[in-house]
DNA sequence: CTCGGTTATGCAACTCGTTGCAAAAGGGTC
DNA sequence: GACCCTTTTGCAACGAGTTGCATAACCGAG
């Protein structure tokens, strides 16, 4: 139930149309709450119906015509309440860890290539995060919002760093095992 | 599409009934691929229909009566093929990071309690993983399967450790901000 | 001025996971 | 032996996310 709040956050940062939101989700918010344009349009409709956001009056309501939304006071209140809500961390569901476990039963044939591929992907993502850090958060910007966004970014960086080091370790391990067999 | 393979892996490690599987998912496999008993029963039905597993002949097929399954050769082949399949890492979707970002817009009121709660949960989980490591994987066991399961466990440990250190950092940051305002 | 590409919004169908509940069998207790 | 609790299996409905496609406006090229 977090998608509506992801959208409220994005709109509170800057009023946008559905497509603009989609693009921002591809770049920024989507790094920790991804969503497709479909989900976004559907949710914008629901949020408008509930009176949490509204279409800016300038935008006519025809199809194919850009429609900008902004957050209403009720939406801001909803978001404020949600921030303090308790929600347990979702249990991990990671197919790669599962593959390694399955490899213990049927052998690790071909898994090393997949591990290397993931390693490359995570290195890319880490590089992107670090570029964003340099570009968007120079140390002189220090408002509350900047500090919190930097904190979230450090979360992303930490996660990617973890995966990179685990994948390194995994590759070493699997090469050793494979070497002993082949 | 990994649930069937999670079940195949579990059954290959040891033939089980639906309820036993449910319990093993709560303890072991479920740490990185969680599933409810509902999903498991449904999937057992599908896997049997496809001829990848079968009910052990001893078990009569009535409701409320235990029914044990084992993996058939076709199931093992399917699992072997799946291990080498390519699958991109799923984009992160983390409500807590989203809350921190939202706090940048509407203020961090009450969020610190939630961060502390998560910190405690992750510390618990880490302790559990470390206990499992000591109990199930003493260093003298060194078969391929043991090494790979230990590798997966180290993944879990690394993830929990990452969250613990990020949450520590986040709490410090938010206390500083809050201190400057109150 | 019409044709094709781009921008923008949206519907419908599907899969996967979740939640609440029901039903059959077995075992213990009074 | 009637009652109730536990174990085990299962159905049905729902909600969130995904995929494929449709529709409408706009804009530039020829």
For residue A38, give the CATH number of its domain: 1.10.10.10
- B103 and B78 share one domain: no
Is position B90 within any domain? no
Is the pLDDT reported for residue A56 higher than 90? no
pLDDT bucket at A151, cuts 50 / 70 / 90: very high
Q: Which of A43-52, A85-94, B61-70 has the lowest mean pLDDT?
A: B61-70
Query: What is the pLDDT at residue A179?
Result: 63
Closest by Cβ to B100, choosing from A34, A98, A148: A148
Query: What is the pLDDT at residue B36?
Result: 93
Is position B11 within any domain? yes
Domain boundary among B83, B109, B128: B83
Average pLDDT over residues A163-175: 96
- B64 and B30 share one domain: yes
Q: Which of A38-52, A84-98, A102-116, A129-143 has the lowest mean pLDDT?
A: A129-143
Shortest CA gap B67–chain A (Å): 23
Cα–Cα dist B4/B81, whole Å: 13
Is position A153 within any domain? yes
B111: Cβ–Cβ under 8 A, 6 or more apart, which residues? Answer: A83, A84, B99, B100, B103, B174
Domain boundary among A57, A83, A109: A83
Closest by Cβ to B152, choosing from A88, A101, A154: A101
Query: What is the pLDDT at residue B139?
Result: 76
Query: What is the pLDDT at residue A63?
Result: 56
Shortest CA gap B45–chain A (Å): 21
Q: Which of A119-123, A156-160, A178-182 has the lowest mean pLDDT?
A: A178-182
Residues A65-93 have pLDDT tens digits of 778 999 999 999 999 999 999 999 999 99
Query: What is the pLDDT at residue A140?
Result: 76
Is position B30 within any domain? yes
Whole-number Cα distances in Å, B91 to A45, A141, B53, B87: 25, 28, 32, 12
- A70 and A101 share one domain: no
Estimate in Å the CA A63 to C1' D22 gap, whole number.
Answer: 12
Query: What is the pLDDT at residue A136?
Result: 87
- A71 and A136 share one domain: no
Residue A172: both structure tokens together = 């070493």
- A19 and A73 share one domain: yes
Q: Which domain holds residue B169?
A: 95-181
Is position A88 within any domain? no
Q: Which of A58-62, A134-138, B45-49, B171-175 has the lowest mean pLDDT?
A: A58-62
Average pLDDT over residues B5-33: 93
D8: residue with closest CA to C1' = B64
Query: What is the pLDDT at residue B29?
Result: 93
- A102 and A74 share one domain: no
Pairing of strands B68-71, B53-55: antiparallel
Name which of A4, A11, A99, A121 to mutate to probe chain B: the one with the most chain B Cβ atoms within 10 A of its Cβ: A99
C8: residue with closest CA to C1' = A64
Is the pLDDT reported for residue B69 higher than 60? yes
Average pLDDT over residues B51-61: 74
Closest CA to A89 of A154, A155, A11, A26: A155
Q: Considering only CB atoms, which chain B residues are within 8 Å of A43?
A: none
Domain boundary among A83, A107, A129: A83
The nucleotide whose C1' lies nearest the CA of A43 is: D16
Looking at per-residue pLDDT, the higher value among A60 and B17 belongs to B17
Q: Considering only CB atoms, which chain B residues are within 8 Å of A111?
A: 83-84
Query: What is the pLDDT at residue A138?
Result: 79
Estimate in Å the CA A58 to C1' C19 gap, whole number.
Answer: 43
The string over B20-38, giving b where at least 16 C-beta atoms fall within 10 Å of a residue's C-beta and e elsewhere, is bbbebbeebbbbbbbbeee
- A79 and A147 share one domain: no
Is position A90 within any domain? no
Is position B88 within any domain? no
Q: Considering only CB atoms, which chain A residues are within 8 Å of B108?
A: 83, 144, 148
- What is the Cα gyration radius of chain B? 21
CB atoms closer than 10 angstroms to residue A29: 22
Q: Cβ contact (<8 Å) for A98 and B166?
A: no
Number of structural domains chain A divides into: 2
Residues B120-152 have pLDDT tens digits of 999 999 999 999 999 888 777 788 899 999 999
pLDDT bucket at A64, cuts 50 / 70 / 90: low
- B27 and B60 share one domain: yes
- A104 and A65 share one domain: no
- A67 and A113 share one domain: no
Q: Cβ contact (<8 Å) for A92 and B34?
A: yes
Is position B133 within any domain? yes
Q: What integer best gives the mean pLDDT of chain B?
A: 90
Q: Which chain C positions come under 7 Å from a protein C-beta?
A: 7-12, 15-20, 23-26
Is the pLDDT reported for residue B59 higher than 90? no
């Amino acid at each position: 139930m977090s998608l509506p709040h992801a959208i409220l956050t994005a709109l509170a940062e800057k009023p946008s149309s559905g497509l603009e939101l989609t693009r921002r989700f591809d770049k920024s918010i989507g790094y920790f709450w991804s969503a497709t344009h479909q989900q976004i349009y559907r949710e914008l409709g629901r949020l408008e119906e509930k009176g949490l956001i509204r279409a800016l009056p300038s935008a006519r309501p025809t199809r194919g015509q850009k429609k900008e939304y902004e957050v209403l006071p009720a939406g801001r209140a909803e978001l404020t309440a949600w921030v303090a809500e308790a929600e347990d961390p979702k249990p991990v569901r990671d197919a790669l860890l599962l593959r390694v476990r399955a490899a213990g039963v049927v052998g690790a044939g071909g898994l090393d290539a997949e591990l290397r591929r993931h390693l490359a992907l995570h290195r890319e993502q880490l590089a992107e995060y670090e570029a964003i850090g340099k570009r968007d958060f120079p140390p002189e910007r220090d408002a509350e919002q900047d500090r919190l966004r930097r904190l979230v970014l450090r979360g992303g960086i930490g996660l990617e760093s973890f995966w990179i080091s685990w994948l390194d370790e995994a590759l070493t391990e699997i090469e050793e095992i494979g070497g002993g067999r082949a």
